[in-house]
Amino acid sequence: HTDAPMRVAALCAIALLLAIVVAPPLLEATVLLAALHDAAHVLTFALIAALLCVLMEPRRAGLVALLVVVLVLAFGTELAQPCFAGATSIEVASMGDVGRDLLGGVIGVLTWFAFHHRRHGLWIPAALLLAAGLAPLAFTGWAYAQRALHPEIIWEARRATWQVFLEPRTDGTYSRMQSVPRLRFTATGDSYAGLSIREPPPDWRGYEALQVALANPGAAPIRINVRIDDQPRNTEYEDRFNRERTLPAGASVVWRIPMDEIGQGPKGRRLDLSDIRRVVIFLSPGSRGASFDLGSVRLERAP
């Protein structure tokens, strides 16, 4: 049986882990950090569940009680986050985190039983569940590796990175085209609906132009825009690059925008081509129900 000092140590460790989940450190939100955050939820609750096993030494009915405690802690930490986590914290309360917490809890319980009761057959499901919990982090790492190998590709529909670097939107829906490597965006709102590419390769110096492969699958013309930011914050219209183009019904084009033109986008200064932060492709206001297909966004090398 577990002695009293070990129980106290386990209880203190659980309290510390829960405090970190409820009030995490303030960090700059990036795609990689978000993936690390999700993986950390799985690992943290796996450790919490294992420590709870040290405290409770569950058997049969006690095992159900332990899982109920994990469930309560998972929901409780998510409900407490708005009160304790900073406004700019990467931690945002979500049901997805609750699911990751429960997955981690099951992993922790299986690991404890496999180790404490020498049930070696439980190592396999514990390892498989852990691999499932960490798979999104591995996928994100692969996406970053692709970006590093091909810095001229800002976004491409046929690459796995298409999903990782797209900012979640509430003004439209995404669907992948099966016949051609394109992503279709359909607007469900009227105000600047479109998609935003996060963390593009930042240094555009030495390139000749930006190429955006677009198609209009609809029966009416659409007005489509390209926006480029060199600031981490939301910038005003006059302080970024903006261009609008009308795309006829059924048209498919590669929109080529010279780099010098992009540099002259803001009023009163040049866009910092060494530190590009975001590329947004969107429909003009009043386009509810309209769609556009995006094949790729690439940088054209200078001759």
pLDDT of residue 87: 47
- Here the tokens at position 222 are 């659409």
* pLDDT score of 1: 55
**pLDDT score for 178:** 77
Block mean pLDDT (10 aa), the chain, length 303: 78 91 74 91 95 87 88 89 61 79 95 89 95 96 91 90 82 85 91 91 95 96 96 82 96 96 93 95 93 96 82
What integer pLDDT is reported at residue 93 of this predicted model?
60
* pTM metric for this prediction: 0.80
pLDDT value at residue 27: 61
Q: What is the pLDDT of residue 244?
A: 96
